Structure 1
Protein backbone atom coordinates (compact mmCIF):
# COMPACT_ATOMS: atom_id res chain seq x y z
CA UNK A 1 0.00 0.00 0.00
CA UNK A 2 1.46 3.35 -1.01
CA UNK A 3 0.59 6.79 0.34
CA UNK A 4 1.85 10.28 -0.34
CA UNK A 5 4.31 11.01 2.47
CA UNK A 6 3.31 13.89 4.76
CA UNK A 7 5.95 16.47 5.57
CA UNK A 8 6.53 16.03 9.31
CA UNK A 9 6.01 12.27 9.64
CA UNK A 10 6.03 9.55 7.04
CA UNK A 11 5.24 5.89 6.61
CA UNK A 12 7.09 3.27 4.60
CA UNK A 13 6.93 -0.49 4.55
CA UNK A 14 10.00 -2.68 4.89
CA UNK A 15 8.89 -6.18 4.09
CA UNK A 16 6.11 -7.01 6.54
CA UNK A 17 7.10 -4.18 8.92
CA UNK A 18 5.72 -0.67 8.76
CA UNK A 19 8.05 2.18 9.71
CA UNK A 20 6.64 5.51 10.93
CA UNK A 21 9.26 8.25 11.30
CA UNK A 22 8.76 11.66 12.91
CA UNK A 23 10.45 14.11 10.57
CA UNK A 24 10.95 17.53 12.12
CA UNK A 25 14.62 17.13 13.11
CA UNK A 26 15.42 20.85 13.17
CA UNK A 27 13.07 21.12 16.19
CA UNK A 28 13.99 17.72 17.67
CA UNK A 29 10.59 16.46 16.46
CA UNK A 30 8.81 18.74 18.93
CA UNK A 31 5.04 18.35 18.98
CA UNK A 32 3.68 21.00 16.66
CA UNK A 33 0.14 20.71 15.37
CA UNK A 34 1.42 19.84 11.91
CA UNK A 35 3.70 17.10 13.23
CA UNK A 36 0.89 15.49 15.20
CA UNK A 37 -1.52 15.67 12.26
CA UNK A 38 1.06 14.06 9.99
CA UNK A 39 1.96 11.47 12.62
CA UNK A 40 -1.70 10.52 13.03
CA UNK A 41 -2.05 10.21 9.25
CA UNK A 42 1.09 8.05 8.97
CA UNK A 43 -0.02 5.75 11.82
CA UNK A 44 -3.48 5.42 10.30
CA UNK A 45 -1.97 4.29 6.98
CA UNK A 46 0.43 1.91 8.76
CA UNK A 47 -2.28 0.26 10.82
CA UNK A 48 -4.57 -0.07 7.79
CA UNK A 49 -1.88 -1.62 5.58
CA UNK A 50 -2.86 -5.29 5.13
CA UNK A 51 0.74 -6.21 4.32
CA UNK A 52 2.08 -4.87 7.63
CA UNK A 53 2.19 -7.17 10.66
CA UNK A 54 3.96 -4.85 13.08
CA UNK A 55 4.96 -1.18 13.18
CA UNK A 56 8.19 0.53 14.24
CA UNK A 57 7.94 4.12 15.52
CA UNK A 58 11.03 6.33 15.52
CA UNK A 59 12.26 9.89 14.98
CA UNK A 60 14.64 11.45 12.47
CA UNK A 61 17.68 13.43 13.57
CA UNK A 62 19.09 13.76 17.07
CA UNK A 63 15.96 12.98 19.09
CA UNK A 64 12.78 10.96 19.10
CA UNK A 65 10.53 13.77 20.35
CA UNK A 66 11.37 16.75 22.54
CA UNK A 67 7.79 17.22 23.73
CA UNK A 68 5.61 20.30 23.27
CA UNK A 69 7.02 22.96 20.97
CA UNK A 70 7.08 25.93 23.32
CA UNK A 71 7.38 28.29 20.36
CA UNK A 72 3.77 27.36 19.63
CA UNK A 73 2.55 27.80 23.21
CA UNK A 74 0.88 31.17 22.63
CA UNK A 75 -1.07 29.80 19.67
CA UNK A 76 -1.92 26.56 21.48
CA UNK A 77 -3.25 28.43 24.52
CA UNK A 78 -4.88 31.36 22.70
CA UNK A 79 -8.45 30.34 23.57
CA UNK A 80 -10.47 27.35 24.69
CA UNK A 81 -10.90 26.01 21.17
CA UNK A 82 -7.14 26.19 20.49
CA UNK A 83 -6.34 24.44 23.77
CA UNK A 84 -8.89 21.70 23.14
CA UNK A 85 -7.62 21.14 19.59
CA UNK A 86 -4.04 20.79 20.83
CA UNK A 87 -4.94 18.33 23.58
CA UNK A 88 -7.17 16.34 21.22
CA UNK A 89 -4.22 15.92 18.86
CA UNK A 90 -1.98 14.58 21.62
CA UNK A 91 -4.48 12.05 22.93
CA UNK A 92 -5.45 10.97 19.40
CA UNK A 93 -1.92 9.58 19.00
CA UNK A 94 -2.31 7.48 22.15
CA UNK A 95 -5.66 6.17 20.94
CA UNK A 96 -4.05 5.14 17.65
CA UNK A 97 -0.98 3.52 19.22
CA UNK A 98 -2.89 1.60 21.88
CA UNK A 99 -6.15 1.08 20.01
CA UNK A 100 -4.59 -0.63 17.00
CA UNK A 101 -4.39 -4.41 16.94
CA UNK A 102 -0.88 -4.26 15.42
CA UNK A 103 2.06 -4.38 17.84
CA UNK A 104 4.18 -1.22 17.93
CA UNK A 105 7.94 -1.34 18.57
CA UNK A 106 9.48 1.98 19.59
CA UNK A 107 12.98 2.78 18.32
CA UNK A 108 13.74 5.64 20.68
CA UNK A 109 16.88 7.78 20.90
CA UNK A 110 18.05 11.17 22.08
CA UNK A 111 15.35 13.07 23.93
CA UNK A 112 11.92 11.63 24.72
CA UNK A 113 10.38 14.47 26.70
CA UNK A 114 6.83 14.99 27.95
CA UNK A 115 4.55 13.75 25.20
CA UNK A 116 7.52 11.98 23.61
CA UNK A 117 8.04 10.01 26.83
CA UNK A 118 4.31 9.27 26.89
CA UNK A 119 4.44 7.88 23.35
CA UNK A 120 7.39 5.68 24.40
CA UNK A 121 5.17 4.24 27.14
CA UNK A 122 2.34 3.74 24.62
CA UNK A 123 4.54 1.38 22.53
CA UNK A 124 4.20 -2.37 23.07
CA UNK A 125 7.97 -2.92 23.07
CA UNK A 126 10.81 -0.41 23.12
CA UNK A 127 14.35 -0.59 21.78
CA UNK A 128 16.28 2.32 23.27
CA UNK A 129 19.51 3.82 22.04
CA UNK A 130 22.16 4.24 24.70
CA UNK A 131 21.88 8.03 24.38
CA UNK A 132 18.20 8.11 25.37
CA UNK A 133 17.17 10.74 27.95
CA UNK A 134 13.52 10.80 29.01
CA UNK A 135 11.65 12.94 31.51
CA UNK A 136 8.35 14.63 32.34
CA UNK A 137 8.64 18.45 32.62
CA UNK A 138 4.90 19.05 33.06
CA UNK A 139 4.89 19.73 36.80
CA UNK A 140 7.60 22.37 36.37
CA UNK A 141 5.66 24.02 33.53
CA UNK A 142 2.29 24.03 35.26
CA UNK A 143 1.03 21.52 32.69
CA UNK A 144 -0.40 18.01 32.96
CA UNK A 145 0.61 14.63 31.56
CA UNK A 146 -1.32 12.87 28.81
CA UNK A 147 -1.01 9.57 26.96
CA UNK A 148 -2.81 7.56 29.65
CA UNK A 149 0.38 7.55 31.74
CA UNK A 150 -1.48 8.29 34.98
CA UNK A 151 -2.84 4.75 34.58
CA UNK A 152 -0.11 3.00 32.59
CA UNK A 153 2.94 4.16 34.56
CA UNK A 154 1.81 3.01 38.05
CA UNK A 155 0.73 -0.30 36.49
CA UNK A 156 4.18 -0.73 34.94
CA UNK A 157 6.53 0.39 37.71
CA UNK A 158 4.46 0.86 40.86
CA UNK A 159 2.89 3.89 42.52
CA UNK A 160 5.95 5.41 44.24
CA UNK A 161 8.28 5.10 41.26
CA UNK A 162 5.61 6.49 38.95
CA UNK A 163 5.09 9.46 41.25
CA UNK A 164 8.85 9.99 41.39
CA UNK A 165 9.07 10.25 37.60
CA UNK A 166 5.96 12.40 37.28
CA UNK A 167 6.46 14.74 40.24
CA UNK A 168 10.22 15.28 40.18
CA UNK A 169 10.66 15.28 36.41
CA UNK A 170 14.24 14.08 36.69
CA UNK A 171 16.10 12.96 33.59
CA UNK A 172 16.12 9.21 33.16
CA UNK A 173 18.84 7.39 31.24
CA UNK A 174 18.27 4.42 28.97
CA UNK A 175 19.88 2.18 31.60
CA UNK A 176 17.51 3.43 34.32
CA UNK A 177 14.49 2.96 32.07
CA UNK A 178 15.62 -0.58 31.32
CA UNK A 179 15.99 -1.27 35.05
CA UNK A 180 12.47 0.10 35.63
CA UNK A 181 11.10 -2.14 32.88
CA UNK A 182 10.02 0.71 30.60
CA UNK A 183 12.33 -0.32 27.73
CA UNK A 184 13.11 -3.85 26.56
CA UNK A 185 16.56 -3.43 25.02
CA UNK A 186 19.33 -0.82 25.19
CA UNK A 187 21.67 -0.86 22.21
CA UNK A 188 24.22 1.48 20.61
CA UNK A 189 22.49 4.24 18.67
CA UNK A 190 23.74 2.97 15.32
CA UNK A 191 22.11 -0.42 16.03
CA UNK A 192 18.78 0.91 17.34
CA UNK A 193 16.68 0.97 14.18
CA UNK A 194 18.18 -2.26 12.88
CA UNK A 195 17.35 -4.01 16.17
CA UNK A 196 13.81 -2.61 16.30
CA UNK A 197 13.12 -3.65 12.70
CA UNK A 198 14.47 -7.13 13.40
CA UNK A 199 12.22 -7.56 16.44
CA UNK A 200 9.21 -6.19 14.56
CA UNK A 201 10.00 -8.57 11.71
CA UNK A 202 9.93 -11.52 14.08
CA UNK A 203 6.54 -10.36 15.38
CA UNK A 204 5.20 -9.83 11.85
CA UNK A 205 6.19 -13.42 10.95
CA UNK A 206 3.91 -14.80 13.65
CA UNK A 207 0.18 -15.38 13.32
CA UNK A 208 -1.51 -12.05 12.55
CA UNK A 209 -4.70 -13.34 14.13
CA UNK A 210 -2.95 -14.35 17.35
CA UNK A 211 -0.84 -11.20 17.77
CA UNK A 212 -3.85 -8.99 17.07
CA UNK A 213 -5.99 -10.91 19.53
CA UNK A 214 -3.22 -10.77 22.14
CA UNK A 215 -2.93 -6.98 21.91
CA UNK A 216 -6.70 -6.53 22.05
CA UNK A 217 -6.96 -8.86 25.04
CA UNK A 218 -4.19 -7.11 26.95
CA UNK A 219 -5.78 -3.74 26.22
CA UNK A 220 -9.18 -5.08 27.26
CA UNK A 221 -7.59 -6.23 30.52
CA UNK A 222 -6.42 -2.65 31.07
CA UNK A 223 -10.07 -1.99 30.43
CA UNK A 224 -12.03 1.18 30.69
CA UNK A 225 -9.58 2.41 33.33
CA UNK A 226 -7.09 3.42 30.64
CA UNK A 227 -9.61 5.35 28.59
CA UNK A 228 -11.06 6.92 31.74
CA UNK A 229 -7.52 8.07 32.60
CA UNK A 230 -7.14 9.51 29.10
CA UNK A 231 -10.41 11.43 29.53
CA UNK A 232 -9.36 12.76 32.96
CA UNK A 233 -5.95 13.78 31.62
CA UNK A 234 -7.68 15.52 28.73
CA UNK A 235 -9.75 17.63 31.12
CA UNK A 236 -6.81 18.34 33.45
CA UNK A 237 -4.54 19.37 30.56
CA UNK A 238 -7.13 21.78 29.19
CA UNK A 239 -7.46 23.33 32.67
CA UNK A 240 -3.67 23.55 33.00
CA UNK A 241 -3.27 25.34 29.66
CA UNK A 242 -5.91 27.86 30.70
CA UNK A 243 -4.37 28.48 34.14
CA UNK A 244 -2.27 31.66 34.45
CA UNK A 245 0.41 29.76 36.38
CA UNK A 246 1.17 27.73 33.28
CA UNK A 247 1.79 30.75 31.05
CA UNK A 248 4.09 32.30 33.65
CA UNK A 249 6.09 29.09 34.11
CA UNK A 250 6.46 28.41 30.38
CA UNK A 251 7.56 32.02 29.80
CA UNK A 252 10.10 31.79 32.64
CA UNK A 253 11.46 28.53 31.23
CA UNK A 254 11.83 30.10 27.80
CA UNK A 255 13.72 33.05 29.24
CA UNK A 256 16.07 30.74 31.19
CA UNK A 257 16.67 28.69 28.06
CA UNK A 258 17.49 31.77 26.01
CA UNK A 259 19.74 33.02 28.81
Structure 2
Protein backbone atom coordinates (compact mmCIF):
# COMPACT_ATOMS: atom_id res chain seq x y z
CA UNK A 1 0.00 0.00 0.00
CA UNK A 2 1.39 3.40 -0.99
CA UNK A 3 2.04 5.74 1.94
CA UNK A 4 -0.35 8.70 1.98
CA UNK A 5 2.44 10.93 3.35
CA UNK A 6 6.17 10.52 2.80
CA UNK A 7 9.17 11.86 4.67
CA UNK A 8 12.70 12.20 3.40
CA UNK A 9 15.81 13.97 4.58
CA UNK A 10 17.69 16.61 2.58
CA UNK A 11 20.60 17.56 4.80
CA UNK A 12 19.19 19.49 7.75
CA UNK A 13 15.76 19.63 6.07
CA UNK A 14 12.93 17.13 6.47
CA UNK A 15 10.58 17.15 3.47
CA UNK A 16 7.06 16.00 4.31
CA UNK A 17 4.98 15.28 1.19
CA UNK A 18 1.25 14.65 0.94
CA UNK A 19 1.02 11.64 -1.36
CA UNK A 20 -2.53 11.05 -2.63
CA UNK A 21 -2.01 12.69 -6.04
CA UNK A 22 -4.85 10.74 -7.63
CA UNK A 23 -7.21 12.55 -5.19
CA UNK A 24 -5.33 15.89 -5.30
CA UNK A 25 -4.04 15.01 -1.81
CA UNK A 26 -7.52 15.33 -0.36
CA UNK A 27 -7.75 14.51 3.34
CA UNK A 28 -9.02 11.17 4.54
CA UNK A 29 -8.43 9.36 7.84
CA UNK A 30 -5.22 7.73 6.62
CA UNK A 31 -3.69 10.96 5.36
CA UNK A 32 -4.54 12.84 8.56
CA UNK A 33 -3.04 10.08 10.69
CA UNK A 34 0.07 9.71 8.53
CA UNK A 35 0.67 13.45 8.21
CA UNK A 36 0.55 13.89 11.97
CA UNK A 37 2.97 10.97 12.46
CA UNK A 38 5.47 12.24 9.87
CA UNK A 39 5.37 15.80 11.20
CA UNK A 40 5.92 14.53 14.74
CA UNK A 41 8.85 12.43 13.51
CA UNK A 42 10.42 15.42 11.77
CA UNK A 43 9.81 17.72 14.73
CA UNK A 44 11.53 15.24 17.07
CA UNK A 45 14.47 14.44 14.76
CA UNK A 46 17.67 16.01 16.16
CA UNK A 47 19.20 16.14 12.66
CA UNK A 48 16.31 18.25 11.33
CA UNK A 49 16.46 22.02 11.63
CA UNK A 50 13.68 22.95 9.18
CA UNK A 51 10.64 21.14 7.78
CA UNK A 52 9.28 21.67 4.26
CA UNK A 53 5.63 20.68 3.73
CA UNK A 54 4.46 20.05 0.17
CA UNK A 55 2.15 17.93 -1.98
CA UNK A 56 2.75 15.44 -4.79
CA UNK A 57 1.11 15.78 -8.17
CA UNK A 58 -1.10 18.61 -9.38
CA UNK A 59 -2.13 20.12 -6.05
CA UNK A 60 -1.00 20.77 -2.52
CA UNK A 61 -4.24 19.66 -0.88
CA UNK A 62 -7.83 19.78 -2.15
CA UNK A 63 -9.31 19.74 1.35
CA UNK A 64 -11.60 17.06 2.77
CA UNK A 65 -12.19 14.04 0.57
CA UNK A 66 -15.95 14.48 0.33
CA UNK A 67 -16.39 10.90 -0.88
CA UNK A 68 -15.36 9.82 2.62
CA UNK A 69 -17.81 12.08 4.44
CA UNK A 70 -20.10 9.18 5.31
CA UNK A 71 -17.26 7.29 6.98
CA UNK A 72 -16.16 10.40 8.85
CA UNK A 73 -19.62 11.16 10.20
CA UNK A 74 -21.24 7.77 10.77
CA UNK A 75 -21.14 8.01 14.58
CA UNK A 76 -20.40 10.59 17.30
CA UNK A 77 -17.12 8.78 17.97
CA UNK A 78 -15.90 9.00 14.36
CA UNK A 79 -16.97 12.65 14.15
CA UNK A 80 -15.01 13.43 17.30
CA UNK A 81 -11.96 11.52 16.05
CA UNK A 82 -12.01 13.24 12.64
CA UNK A 83 -12.20 16.71 14.19
CA UNK A 84 -9.40 15.91 16.62
CA UNK A 85 -7.23 14.44 13.84
CA UNK A 86 -7.57 17.68 11.86
CA UNK A 87 -6.59 19.87 14.82
CA UNK A 88 -3.62 17.79 15.90
CA UNK A 89 -2.00 18.28 12.47
CA UNK A 90 -2.12 22.03 13.13
CA UNK A 91 -0.63 21.49 16.58
CA UNK A 92 2.20 19.48 15.00
CA UNK A 93 2.91 22.29 12.51
CA UNK A 94 2.56 25.28 14.82
CA UNK A 95 3.35 23.80 18.21
CA UNK A 96 6.51 21.94 17.28
CA UNK A 97 9.93 23.54 17.74
CA UNK A 98 11.05 23.43 14.09
CA UNK A 99 10.04 26.06 11.55
CA UNK A 100 7.77 24.71 8.81
CA UNK A 101 7.98 26.14 5.30
CA UNK A 102 5.13 25.43 2.89
CA UNK A 103 5.83 24.71 -0.77
CA UNK A 104 2.36 24.92 -2.28
CA UNK A 105 0.89 24.74 -5.77
CA UNK A 106 -2.29 23.90 -7.63
CA UNK A 107 -5.08 23.90 -5.07
CA UNK A 108 -5.06 24.58 -1.33
CA UNK A 109 -8.71 24.17 -0.36
CA UNK A 110 -10.38 24.11 3.04
CA UNK A 111 -8.09 22.24 5.39
CA UNK A 112 -5.32 22.52 2.80
CA UNK A 113 -5.64 26.31 2.94
CA UNK A 114 -5.58 26.06 6.73
CA UNK A 115 -2.28 24.18 6.60
CA UNK A 116 -0.83 26.90 4.37
CA UNK A 117 -1.78 29.46 7.02
CA UNK A 118 -0.27 27.26 9.74
CA UNK A 119 3.18 27.30 8.11
CA UNK A 120 5.83 29.70 9.40
CA UNK A 121 6.74 30.74 5.85
CA UNK A 122 5.17 29.91 2.49
CA UNK A 123 6.53 29.72 -1.04
CA UNK A 124 3.60 29.61 -3.47
CA UNK A 125 3.59 28.64 -7.12
CA UNK A 126 1.90 31.18 -9.35
CA UNK A 127 -0.77 28.58 -10.23
CA UNK A 128 -1.98 28.32 -6.64
CA UNK A 129 -5.70 28.74 -5.97
CA UNK A 130 -6.82 28.78 -2.34
CA UNK A 131 -10.26 29.11 -0.80
CA UNK A 132 -12.55 28.03 2.04
CA UNK A 133 -15.66 26.08 0.90
CA UNK A 134 -16.74 25.25 4.45
CA UNK A 135 -19.58 27.73 4.85
CA UNK A 136 -21.11 26.66 1.54
CA UNK A 137 -20.87 22.96 2.46
CA UNK A 138 -21.99 23.36 6.05
CA UNK A 139 -18.58 22.51 7.48
CA UNK A 140 -16.65 24.66 9.95
CA UNK A 141 -13.14 26.03 9.53
CA UNK A 142 -10.41 24.53 11.69
CA UNK A 143 -6.64 24.85 11.93
CA UNK A 144 -6.80 27.86 14.23
CA UNK A 145 -7.84 30.14 11.36
CA UNK A 146 -10.58 31.80 13.42
CA UNK A 147 -7.67 33.24 15.43
CA UNK A 148 -4.98 33.52 12.75
CA UNK A 149 -6.94 35.21 9.95
CA UNK A 150 -8.41 38.12 11.96
CA UNK A 151 -4.96 38.66 13.44
CA UNK A 152 -3.42 38.84 9.97
CA UNK A 153 -6.19 40.62 8.05
CA UNK A 154 -8.66 42.21 10.45
CA UNK A 155 -12.20 41.09 11.26
CA UNK A 156 -14.00 42.11 8.05
CA UNK A 157 -11.47 40.73 5.58
CA UNK A 158 -11.21 37.47 7.54
CA UNK A 159 -14.98 37.09 7.50
CA UNK A 160 -15.00 37.74 3.75
CA UNK A 161 -12.49 34.98 3.06
CA UNK A 162 -14.23 32.44 5.27
CA UNK A 163 -17.89 33.20 4.54
CA UNK A 164 -17.78 33.94 0.82
CA UNK A 165 -15.18 31.31 0.02
CA UNK A 166 -13.96 33.20 -3.04
CA UNK A 167 -10.96 31.78 -4.87
CA UNK A 168 -7.71 33.54 -4.05
CA UNK A 169 -4.77 33.56 -6.45
CA UNK A 170 -1.16 33.30 -5.32
CA UNK A 171 -0.63 36.98 -6.13
CA UNK A 172 -3.69 37.94 -4.08
CA UNK A 173 -2.39 35.91 -1.14
CA UNK A 174 0.96 37.68 -1.47
CA UNK A 175 -0.79 41.06 -1.50
CA UNK A 176 -2.69 40.06 1.65
CA UNK A 177 0.52 39.01 3.37
CA UNK A 178 -0.54 35.35 3.66
CA UNK A 179 2.37 33.93 1.65
CA UNK A 180 5.99 35.08 1.50
CA UNK A 181 6.96 34.49 -2.12
CA UNK A 182 5.32 33.67 -5.45
CA UNK A 183 7.41 31.74 -7.96
CA UNK A 184 6.75 30.12 -11.35
CA UNK A 185 4.87 26.84 -11.38
CA UNK A 186 7.29 23.99 -10.78
CA UNK A 187 9.66 26.14 -8.72
CA UNK A 188 7.84 26.15 -5.39
CA UNK A 189 9.63 23.15 -3.89
CA UNK A 190 13.15 24.08 -5.08
CA UNK A 191 12.66 27.65 -3.85
CA UNK A 192 11.26 26.44 -0.52
CA UNK A 193 14.27 24.16 -0.09
CA UNK A 194 16.60 27.08 -0.80
CA UNK A 195 14.75 29.18 1.76
CA UNK A 196 14.91 26.30 4.25
CA UNK A 197 18.69 26.08 3.83
CA UNK A 198 18.95 29.76 4.67
CA UNK A 199 16.75 29.29 7.73
CA UNK A 200 18.86 26.29 8.78
CA UNK A 201 21.90 28.58 8.94
CA UNK A 202 20.25 30.61 11.68
CA UNK A 203 20.66 29.73 15.34
CA UNK A 204 18.42 26.71 16.02
CA UNK A 205 18.00 27.74 19.64
CA UNK A 206 17.00 31.30 18.77
CA UNK A 207 14.59 30.29 15.99
CA UNK A 208 12.90 27.70 18.19
CA UNK A 209 12.51 30.21 20.99
CA UNK A 210 11.10 32.73 18.51
CA UNK A 211 8.52 30.25 17.24
CA UNK A 212 7.55 29.33 20.78
CA UNK A 213 7.16 33.00 21.69
CA UNK A 214 5.04 33.79 18.62
CA UNK A 215 2.70 30.80 18.52
CA UNK A 216 3.77 27.97 20.81
CA UNK A 217 2.52 29.62 23.99
CA UNK A 218 -0.64 31.25 22.63
CA UNK A 219 -3.56 30.54 24.94
CA UNK A 220 -5.82 32.43 22.52
CA UNK A 221 -4.86 30.09 19.66
CA UNK A 222 -5.46 27.02 21.80
CA UNK A 223 -8.87 28.33 22.86
CA UNK A 224 -9.83 29.11 19.26
CA UNK A 225 -8.85 25.62 18.15
CA UNK A 226 -10.97 24.02 20.86
CA UNK A 227 -13.95 26.16 19.84
CA UNK A 228 -13.35 25.19 16.20
CA UNK A 229 -13.23 21.51 17.16
CA UNK A 230 -16.55 21.72 18.97
CA UNK A 231 -18.17 23.68 16.14
CA UNK A 232 -16.81 21.28 13.52
CA UNK A 233 -18.34 18.36 15.43
CA UNK A 234 -21.69 20.13 15.44
CA UNK A 235 -21.49 20.79 11.70
CA UNK A 236 -20.39 17.24 10.85
CA UNK A 237 -23.49 15.91 12.62
CA UNK A 238 -25.88 18.37 10.98
CA UNK A 239 -28.17 16.73 8.36
CA UNK A 240 -27.98 19.91 6.26
CA UNK A 241 -24.23 19.39 5.91
CA UNK A 242 -24.71 15.86 4.59
CA UNK A 243 -27.26 17.13 2.08
CA UNK A 244 -24.99 19.94 0.91
CA UNK A 245 -22.03 17.59 0.47
CA UNK A 246 -24.14 15.02 -1.39
CA UNK A 247 -25.35 17.75 -3.74
CA UNK A 248 -21.77 18.88 -4.40
CA UNK A 249 -20.50 15.49 -5.55
CA UNK A 250 -20.23 14.82 -9.31
CA UNK A 251 -23.50 13.73 -10.82
CA UNK A 252 -25.50 15.05 -7.87
CA UNK A 253 -27.48 18.17 -7.16
Match of 1:217 in 2: 213
Structure 1 length as normaliser, TM-score?
A: 0.95
1:220: how far off?
4.9
1:49: how far off?
1.0
Q: Secondary structure at the match of 1:150?
A: helix
1:173-229, Cα deviation, whole Å (9 max, x unpaired): 0000000000000001221111100111111111110110110011156x2000000
Match of 1:143 in 2: 139
- Where in structure 2 are the equivalents of 1:113-192 lying within 5 Å? 113-192=109-188
Distance between the aligned counterparts of 2:206 and 2:49, measured in 1?
A: 11
| Residue 252 (1) aligns with residue 247 (2) | yes
- Where in structure 2 are the equivalents of 1:11-26 lying within 5 Å? 11-26=7-22
Can you give the 5+ residue segments of structure 2 that lack an aligned partner in the other structure? none
Distance between the aligned counterparts of 1:220 and 1:201, measured in 2?
A: 23
- Contact in 2 for aligned 1:23/1:29 (Cα 8 Å): yes
1:83: how far off?
0.5
1:24-57, Cα deviation, whole Å (9 max, x unpaired): 0000000010011111111111111111111000
Match of 1:242 in 2: 237
Distance between the aligned counterparts of 1:122 and 1:207, measured in 2?
A: 22
Superposition misfits of 4+ residues, deviation over 4 angstroms:
none
Match of 1:226 in 2: 221
1:159: how far off?
1.0
Match of 2:52 in 1: 56
- Where in structure 2 are the equivalents of 1:96-107 lying within 5 Å? 96-107=92-103
Can you give the 5+ residue segments of structure 1 that lack an aligned partner in the other structure? none
Distance between the aligned counterparts of 1:183 and 1:158, measured in 2?
A: 16
- Where in structure 2 are the equivalents of 1:195-206 lying within 5 Å? 195-206=191-202
May I ask how many residue pairs the two structures share in their alignment?
A: 253
1:255: how far off?
4.6
Distance between the aligned counterparts of 1:220 and 1:121, measured in 2?
A: 15
Distance between the aligned counterparts of 2:125 and 2:187, measured in 1?
A: 8
- Contact in 2 for aligned 1:6/1:38 (Cα 8 Å): no
1:116-142, Cα deviation, whole Å (9 max, x unpaired): 000000000000000000000000001
1:61-85, Cα deviation, whole Å (9 max, x unpaired): 0000000001100111101001111
1:6: how far off?
7.2
Match of 2:85 in 1: 89
Structure 2 length as normaliser, TM-score?
A: 0.97
1:240: how far off?
0.3
Distance between the aligned counterparts of 1:232 and 1:160, measured in 2?
A: 20
